[in-house]
Amino acid sequence: MPDSIYNVSVTPAPTASSVSQPPTAPSEAEMWDIVEHHLVRYGGRFTPRLIERAKGSYLYDRQGRKILDFTSGQMCATLGHNHPDIVQAIHKACEDVLHLFSGMLSPSVVELAHSLCQILPPNLQKALFLNTGSEANEAALRMAKLHTGGFEVVGLSASWHGMTAGASASTFVSARKGYGPTIPGNLALPTPNCYRCPIRHCQDQCDMACLEIGFDLVDSQSVGAYAAVIAEPVLSAGGVVVPPEGYFQRLQAYCQERGMLLILDEAQTAFGRLGSFFAFEQLGMVPDILTLSKTLGGGLPLAATVTSDAIETDCYEKGFIYYTSHVSDPMPAEVGLAVLRVLTNQNLADRAATMGAYLKNGLLKLKDRYEAIGDVRGRGLLLGVELVKDRTTREPDPETGAAITRRCLELGLSMNITALPGMGSVWRIAPPLTVTQAELDEGLAILEQAIRDCL
């Protein structure tokens, strides 16, 4: 008689003596062999350290070596790594509810909407909670197109808005070539980079001719179906470019003249990093749609698209849909609530302004000592350091920048460098908002040692 009605042999239950011991953890070499054989390389080579744990401003590899993190993970861990309030929020969500049918709401989502909108102006009171900055921008672009009836989207030439279809079509700084046509209707304005004028017109003091000329070109290419302009208050991946004072007010006026919405992508600038809760508070204007991510989740996947009651109502009546498996997810919403509480209770925006000024001063001192540093710029705790071969010609020096970055890691400092044709070679320095003065001093000392070793 067969062992079962399906004629499949049945393996006897293991006895205590036959159970093998748990396998030992793979060695470092074995781990990297697995990486080499089984992981897709999605952005160049992986950093040659396997990170086993993280706490505060530090990462620790498998050998226990300590690495000071000057990038806050992927610019996300604004409260530092494994902040106890975030850990507690995750535990609470695990005990309550992690995931629901997308049409259902949890108390954490409702409370997050209330808490977020309390700190936003009256015309930004409708929030949609998603997972990534790409998604938040995707939703914002869909709303803008539905509301205006147009489809043309204007971005800045050094922009980074994400990797999904609509967001990547509005991303001009990199990652465009080789993937076929993007969504139709995407146009670019020159980035107002005072250090590298995109129209070779001025130097170190932008008069916004690039904006005027840019819109002349955009208008000449438009088919009359404008929907939106999407822009970062500080262009991070594009080299930590800070547009001049008054730029966004004038940009908003151009939008209003053309019936376009202005979308501000504050993935990397919101929730204290620039020294205020939101970057638009420093710009003297309020966008039609605000997109948030990274900093809202404190390292977990949480993003938001926020707009006015009028725009939301119009889109709803026109049948707006943005239905994903993880829209309004309870667990990240619980974390978002914790992030907002910590940011508010500990006045971390003010702390970012103070620590940012201290760090910038230290970087400017390095600039005084080393000719390779051509420019130091940024706001709060989002700073950029541009490396050049010659301060007069401002020729970028990506090779030296990469060498110093590698040496920093060897010495225990994680740095992020952007090296793009025509954009320069720029360190993006963004420590957690909880970073201490002693940690900043440590990072500056390591950076100087690495510069000395490589020059």
d(CA 353, CA 282): 12
Residue written as tokens 């990093």?
A: 273
Yes or no: say if 294 and 337 are a contact pair by the CB < 8 Å rule.
no
List 294, 351, 360, 377, catalytic entry: 294
Closest CA to 151 of 252, 232, 222: 222
d(CA 427, CA 417): 4
Instruction: Assess whether 395 carries a catalytic annotation.
Output: no
| The dihedral sign for the CA sequence 353, 357, 359, 360 | positive
Instruction: Assess whether 427 carries a catalytic annotation.
Output: no
3-class secondary-structure state, position 334: helix
List 265, 266, 312, 397, catalytic entry: 265
Helix 330-345 vs helix 107-118: angle between axes, to the nearest 10 degrees?
30
Task: Report in angstroms the alpha-carbon separations of 54 from 19, 51, 65, 70, 72.
Answer: 34, 8, 11, 13, 11
The Cα angle at residue 304 between residues 122 and 274, in degrees rounded to 5: 75
Instruction: Assess whether 32 carries a catalytic annotation.
Output: no
Q: Max CA-CA distance within the chain?
A: 90
Instruction: Assess whether 177 carries a catalytic annotation.
Output: no
Instruction: Pinpoint the alpha helices (H) of 39-149.
Output: 72-75, 84-95, 107-118, 133-148
Instruction: Assess whether 232 carries a catalytic annotation.
Output: yes
Structure tokens, 281: 């508070």
Yes or no: say if 298 and 72 are a contact pair by the CB < 8 Å rule.
no
Task: Report in angstroms the alpha-carbon separations of 318 from 142, 153, 296.
Answer: 12, 20, 29
Instruction: Assess whether 294 carries a catalytic annotation.
Output: yes
d(CA 138, CA 289): 12
Structure tokens, 267: 């993935």
List 258, 268, 375, 407, catalytic entry: 268
3-class secondary-structure state, position 222: coil
Give the single-character DSSP code of 27.
Answer: P
Sheet holding 413-414, edge to edge: 51-55, 58-61, 66-69, 413-414
d(CA 252, CA 158): 19
Backbone angles phi, psi at 43, to 5 degrees: -170, 50
Run of H or E including 382: strand 382-390
List 145, 160, 252, 273, catalytic entry: 160
Residue written as tokens 């290419």?
A: 221
Closest CA to 232 of 279, 297, 273, 284: 279
Catalytically active residues are 160, 232, 265, 268, 294, 428
